[in-house]
């Protein structure tokens, strides 16, 4: 059988890559609890994107989303990375390197009532940090790096990862040190900046349309070369 021309091979690779990317990014995004809002943390080791569970923990979601919109997580960091367990974001009061304005400070000092649910602590889940008081959660939260059933019903779950599992794996490979009960990275894992968008109202539909058209054109090109080569 004759080898496929380079144009055909390139088109096939494009189709395969698109299918692979879709599968990789849609695994977490398929959760029925997810709303349409998305938040992206741009870290020193790559991007982490997550969505919220507005019907599971509405007060927590409202609070965390407002902190994001105010830019409170900018210059903050992950103070804890315990492989197979959690990557935990520091509280923004004390965790940021940049000072906060009055509006940021006011929101960051608020606490949220403990919205405990039956959602399970599995890899990719976002779970609020707190002290012994169940209603003491403020701005620190963890991204689960593995299943942790002992946390179920004890900490408020408010969302989950939608993209960035590759970034979490990079964080898990970083050198750490133990300080009491915490496993902490030796280097500072900074959240350089953050942004948010809504998958229902932003321009992603236009981008999807362009991708679909390019895939259709590639498929047509493959078919034309197939007929030419094997006629």
First-to-last alpha carbon distance for the chain, in angstroms, is 12
Compute the C-alpha angle 138/121/80, nearest 5°.
55
- 134-155 pLDDT tens trace: 999 999 999 999 999 999 999 9
Name the band, by pLDDT with cuts 50, 70 and 90, for residue 176.
very high
The more confident residue out of 134 and 1 is 134
- Say whether pLDDT at 206 is over 80: no
Judged against a pLDDT cut of 60, whether residue 16 lies above it is answered with no
Please state, rounded to an integer, the average pLDDT across all residues of the chain.
84
Q: Which residues pair with 177 in a beta bridge?
A: 184
Mean pLDDT of 166-189: 96
CB hemisphere CA count around 126 (13 angstroms): 30
Q: Would you tell me how many other CB atoms lie within 10 Å of the CB of residue 157?
A: 27
- Which phi and psi (to 5°) does residue 63 adopt? -65, -50
* pTM (2 d.p.): 0.75
Instruction: Residue 76: name the closest of 136, 156, 138, 134 by CA.
Output: 138
């Amino acid at each position: 059988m004759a080898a496929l021309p380079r144009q055909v091979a390139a088109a096939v690779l494009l189709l395969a890559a698109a299918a692979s990317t879709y599968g990789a990014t849609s695994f977490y995004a398929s959760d029925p609890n997810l709303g349409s809002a998305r938040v992206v943390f741009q870290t020193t080791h790559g991007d982490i994107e997550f969505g919220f569970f507005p019907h599971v923990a509405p007060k927590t979601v409202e609070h965390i989303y407002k902190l994001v919109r105010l830019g409170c997580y900018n210059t903050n960091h992950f103070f804890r990375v315990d492989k197979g367990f959690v990557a935990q974001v520091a509280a923004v009061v004390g965790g940021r390197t940049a000072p906060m304005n009055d509006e940021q400070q006011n929101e960051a000092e608020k606490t949220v009532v403990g919205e405990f649910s039956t959602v399970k602590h599995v890899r990719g889940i976002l779970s609020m940090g707190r002290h012994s008081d169940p209603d003491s959660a403020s701005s620190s939260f963890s991204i689960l790096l593995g299943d942790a059933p002992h946390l179920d019903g004890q900490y408020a779950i408010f969302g989950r990862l939608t993209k960035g599992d590759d970034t979490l794996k990079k964080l898990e490979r970083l050198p750490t040190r133990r300080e009491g009960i915490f496993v902490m990275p030796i280097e500072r894992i900074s959240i350089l900046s953050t942004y948010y968008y809504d998958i229902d109202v932003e321009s992603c539909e236009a981008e999807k349309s362009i991708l679909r058209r390019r895939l259709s054109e590639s498929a047509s090109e493959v078919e034309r070369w197939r007929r030419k080569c094997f006629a």
